[in-house]
Amino acid sequence: MQIDPDRLAIVNYPDPALRTHAKDVDPADPIVRAVAERMIALMRQADGIGLAAPQVGLDWRMFVCDVPADPVTDGPPTGSGGVCVFLNPTITDLARDLDVHDEGCLSLPGITGDVRRPIEITFSARDLGGAEINTRAGGMFARCFQHELDHLDGVLIIDKMPRMARLKNRSAIRALKKEFAEQAP
């Protein structure tokens, strides 16, 4: 499949791309860098802190994030301008302590709800140069990493919200489904 990064756009629920289980990506493939740059631009345009490849219609195990460092907890790994690109990420350890936080998603505009996640993670991934990354992180960065990793497994925040939060968002979810159906060819 030929990919034109300039044509990539954020897809909204219930686009089937959001429910796919993403496949590993080759860091040596030259299109990966161009797609990452486009994803960073789309994430910034939408005022997001993370964006996964399935959110732009690609079944790649890749995401980008730009989470401001938290001086109290472990911040993101160092990188140019705080922007990180992760290829083939996996979580290797999760803290036992959990925290509940209101989360939103660029593919679920207007929908937010409490999601319970471990407060710290240890993870591994590859960067754009193919180098391996192994680190422990906490705070908002750990939450963002887990959220984006969920996307790579076809999991959305609406799957993790408690029942009351899903009920609160029921009309917004229906509106997204209706809009998607109306745009279908």
The reported pLDDT for the residue numbered 185 is 74
Residue 182 a catalytic site member: no
Interval 140-149: pLDDT, tens:
999 999 999 9
Q: What is the mean pLDDT of the chain?
A: 93
pLDDT(111) > 90: yes
Query: With 70 as the cut, is the pLDDT of residue 112 above it?
Result: yes
Q: DSSP for 18-61?
A: GGS--B---TT-HHHHHHHHHHHHHHHHTT-SEEEGGGGT--BS
CA–centroid distance for 137 within its chain: 16
Contact 52, 155 (CB under 8 A): no
Is-contact 93 118, C-beta < 8 A?
A: no
Per-residue pLDDT reduced to its tens digit, 35-52: 999 999 999 999 999 999
Mean pLDDT of 156-183: 96
Q: Which of 70, 68, 184 is nearest to 119 (CA)?
A: 70
pLDDT exceeds 60 at position 89: yes
pTM higher than 0.85: yes
- Is 44:146 a contact under the CB 8 Å cutoff? no
Q: Using the predicted structure, report yes or no on whether residue 75 has a pLDDT greater than 70.
A: no
Domains and CATH numbers, the chain: 5-101+117-154 (3.90.45.10)
Cα distance between residue 89 and residue 52, in whole Å? 11
Active-site position among 132, 148, 179, 182: 148
pLDDT digits (tens, 9 = 90+) for 119-133: 999 999 999 999 999
